Structure formats: structure tokens, C-alpha cells
Amino acid sequence: MTSVRILLFRSAAALALAASAPAAVRAEGLVSTKRLSASLAAELVLGAVTACAQKDYHVGAVVLDTSGVQQAALRGDGAAAQNVLNAIDKAYTAASFGMDTAELVERAKSGAVSSAFAKVPHLLLNAGGVVIKVGDEVIGAIGVSGAPGGDNDVVCAKAALEKIKDRMK
């Protein structure tokens, strides 16, 4: 009978969903998330600012957790206040979508971009927001702004992430 078939299908689908859901999503009544320790967050912003400074790029860097709350910020020598504000928005966007803003910029080229960008404050379609991941789980994002071109911001962010990645556990 049709209804039985639907029921069977639903059960199978539910089972498949339960099996594929990562630990963080399989919550009963509480959601547990991770974020960087303050010391790693501090090291991350310094790492990004330093990596850019070595190329004579004056940037601001910000680390946000997945709630969009600031953990650490650093305005590099010669960087302007708006670099920090831009960095916040880049990190916010990456944390919110769970992907690097450079990837969002790529997607926007084929038209696949959320209409939220035009409406929601702090969403910014600019390369330089990079997600911080532990395994597959996004635990935050770093935003860098001030280098010539967002792609150069990304390089500094990733250099800093590389230095702490083995200690994110």
C-alpha cells in the first residue's frame, strides 16, 4: 500500500539522515560547539598581520567565533580603522555561510549568491574572510583587510592558520 511505502521511505530517509549527521548536529536538547582559545585567537590575528607586514601590506585582522562574536582583533602598523571594520565583515560573512568569502565571490560570478547580501548588515562579498575548521566543523572565521586585493588578504590569513592548525584540538 502507498502509505506503508511512504512510511518505509521516510524511516529509511530518517535513518540515513541520522547516520550522516555530524556530532554537532545530532543534539538531543543541547548544541555543543567549539571555538578557539583566546591564546590561539590572539596568535592568529598577530600571524596574519605579521605575514602581510612582511610584504609591506598594512592590514587589520579579526577572529570571530561562529556566533559572529569577536574574539581577537589587531590593527597592523599603518592600517586604517576601516580595515578592521572590513575585516570584521569578511569574517562575519565567512562564519555565517560556513565558507571562505573568496568562494562566495566565485559563486557570485555565476549568479549563485544569496539575496541577503543586499539586505543584511555586515555581509560582504569580498575575498579575505577565511573559515577556521576542525575537521569538517567550522569553529570560526578570520577576516583580513588592507592588502592590495582580497586575494592577498587571503594569503596572509591562510599563512596564519597554517601556523596554529596542529594545535586546534
Cell numbers at 121, concatenated: 548588515
Subset of residues 48 to 77 that bind another protein, contact rule: CB under 8 A: 49-50, 53, 69-77
Query: Under rule CB under 8 A, how many of the chain's residues touch another protein?
Result: 22
The length of the chain is 169
| Closest CB 151 distance from another protein, rounded Å | 22
Q: Collapsing DSSP states into helix, strand and coil, what is residue 144?
A: strand
Interaction of residue 87 with another protein, rule CB under 8 A: no
H helix intervals, the chain: 2-20, 38-53, 81-97, 101-109, 150-164
Among 11, 33, 37, 54, binds another protein (CB under 8 A): 37
- Closest by alpha carbon to 45, among 88, 1, 103? 88
Binding residues for another protein, rule: CB under 8 A, are 37-39, 41-42, 45-46, 49-50, 53, 69-77, 79, 81, 84
